[in-house]
Chain A
Amino acid sequence: MSVLVYTESDQGNLKKGAFEVASYAKAVADQLGTTVTALAINASNTNELGNYGVNKVLTVNNNDLNSFSAKVYANVVKQAAEKENAQVVIVSSSADSKYLAPLLAVSLNAGYASNVIEAPSNTAPFTVKRNAFTNKAFEVTQINTNVKIIGVSNNAFGLVENSASATSEDFSPAIEASTVTVEAVDKATDKVTIADADVVVSGGRGLKGPENWGMIEELADVLGAATACSKPVSDLGWRPHSEHVGQTGKPVASNLYIAIGISGAIQHLAGVNASKVKVVINTDAEAPFFKAADYGVVGDAFTVVPQLIEKLKAFKAQQ
């Protein structure tokens, strides 16, 4: 028996989210009185997983796994779960993990709970709390099957240091040919993604037009943040679809969310409410976002944002 955690990497390095799911796996393993095995595919820095409580790392190195295929990867995770006799399998909430988890659930005959925000409240019956109704509520779900899959919501559990010394074992699963072939990837490699970002800077229709996004990008740059936008902004073509956040866009669960010129419609708030701290900058003191935010500035973005950039630069220089 063990807890298996699938730790994702990007260009050969484990992602920050990998350490969060490892931390979560350690909490579950402690509850069950067992150990944590991580599965890492084509990643080099796997020894760092020990710092988050991982006891053993199954390392897979295979060029056939260079591009992500949900079905092929799910099959690799399945073989690792069977080899380790895993009772619980932990994955993240990245787009790729959410893609493979349902496939894995069917092949392992396992119940799957997604968007889980806390360690299990009970292990018999196995009960977890998850985000539902797009952050308007939480649902307590019981998983009834022998093998369980948990998708951990981004930034919900955080990193928990828990030193173990991780041993490493080469793992060579059978790899099938993919029937969904990636032909082209269009991804900015120098930018933080909304899913991985600690800080997200988001702009709304109050910014008047795409030509004014320079200051949003600059503010994001200073903070090491990802950029996002409200739905009308992407519908108008001012920003790409991939930046649209909210109930019908990407979910945001960052530590800090800065909303600039966004009114705070219910559909927008639903998708960003899982962020820990929210700041709003808006000319209208009556904008609904002020009711959802922790900090607010009533003011014109065109004067506030440039000043904030200068002050943050000075602050960062001092740090």
Chain B
Amino acid sequence: MNILVCISHVPDTTSKINFSENNTKFDTNGVQFVINPNDEFGLTRAMWFKEKQGAKVTVVNVGGAETEPTLRKALAIGADAAIRVNAAATDGFSVAKQLAKVATDGGYDLIIAGRESIDYNGGMVPGMLAALLDANFVNNCIGLDVDGTTAKATREIDGGKETVATSLPLVVGGQKGLVEESDLRIPNMRGIMMARQKPLTVVDGVETTDQTTSVSFEKPAPKGAVKLVAEDNLDELISLLHNEAKVI
């Protein structure tokens, strides 16, 4: 199997989110960047395929040079090769177009992306990529097995899950469940050393036109103080929820 794992480079989940340049740019000052958590589950499942069934695993990111440490981390976890498409990731459709070029050039039969990036929460790249490649697509993927060119996947749906049968070439939008939390790997010294020897290829992007443009950002209004209700006065809580908040 020739697997491509799409890696989005995002602020760590504990990051405080701030904006600069008159609220038009995300302020990266002091922000730690990590592999998008949904992609980390996908990468770990790809490693499982590599170890159990034999597969080559390539990771790819569309972005500037600042994302290379994130790709190196994916190599340290065990990916064989990395590609960075040197283009700004400003629009989901443009990113999908860049990835489609990489996917076609490399002849990948399984492409694992994440359900969404935790920064812009677009949730659009994997589906758009599948459509551009005319490949099968399973979103919210929480389980994946491949046998030859047939695939069985489990998908989270609202209120439960379903199992589907499909075939390669396949794009999945993965998330927790693809592997368990406890299966995630922290790169060790050997992995980090080996990652330095592995190829990280930088390729130029293709021409694209952004379909959407980020104009500005806002932060939610600060919250008022919590109203505390004594534990022996729960009637008061019910009355507040009914009369004041009007939610019950």
A-side residues, CB < 8 A to B, are 70-71, 94-96, 98-103, 105-107, 110-115, 127, 129, 131-145, 179-188, 191-196, 198-199, 223, 231, 235, 241-242, 244, 247-249, 255-256, 266-267, 270, 273, 276-277, 279-280, 290-300, 303-304, 307-308, 311-312, 315
Contact = CB atoms under 8 A, between A and B. Distances in A.
A22 B164 CA distance: 30
A71 B93 CA distance: 17
Contact of A141 (B130, B140, B213): B213
B245 A99 contact: no
Main secondary structure of the interface of B (DSSP, over half): mixed
B227 A303 contact: no
B19 to A, nearest CB: 7
A133 B12 CA distance: 11
Nearest to B209: A144
Contacts, number: 262
Query: Across chains A and B, which 4 residue pairs bring their CB atoms closest together, nearest first?
Result: A102-B127, A187-B160, A299-B231, A111-B211
Given A114-B123, A133-B121, A180-B136, A311 B226 contact: no
B176 A140 contact: no
Contact of A199 (B127, B231, B247): B247
B15 to A, nearest CB: 8
Given A241-B156, A292-B223, A298-B228, A140 B164 contact: no
Interface in B12-54: 13-14, 17, 19, 37-38
A272 B118 CA distance: 14
18 contacts: A95-B157, A102-B123, A103-B131, A105-B124, A106-B127, A114-B123, A133-B121, A141-B214, A181-B166, A185-B161, A186-B160, A186-B161, A248-B175, A279-B237, A295-B245, A304-B234, A308-B237, A315-B238
User: Which residue of B93, B124, B139, B224 has the most chain A CB atoms within 10 A of its CB atom?
Assistant: B124
Interface of B: 11, 13-14, 17, 19, 37-38, 92-93, 96, 118-128, 130-132, 136-140, 142, 152, 156-167, 173, 175-177, 180-182, 209-220, 223-224, 226-231, 234-235, 237-238, 240-242, 245, 247-248
A181 B152 CA distance: 10
A307 to B, nearest CB: 6
A140 B140 contact: no
A183 B156 contact: no
B238 A132 contact: no
Contact of B132 (A100, A106, A138, A267): A106
A231 B37 CA distance: 13
Contacts of A135: 220
Contacts of A102: 92, 96, 123-128, 130-131
Given A95-B156, A102-B128, A280-B226, A184 B176 contact: no
Contacts of A273: 220
Given A187-B159, A193-B159, A295 B240 contact: yes
Given A138-B220, A143-B211, A185 B156 contact: no
A248 B176 contact: yes
Given A141-B214, A186-B161, 13 more contacts: A95-B139, A103-B131, A136-B220, A137-B218, A138-B217, A194-B158, A248-B13, A295-B227, A295-B245, A296-B229, A307-B234, A311-B234, A312-B248
Nearest to A310: B234
Given A102-B124, A180-B164, A140 B227 contact: no
A103 to B, nearest CB: 5
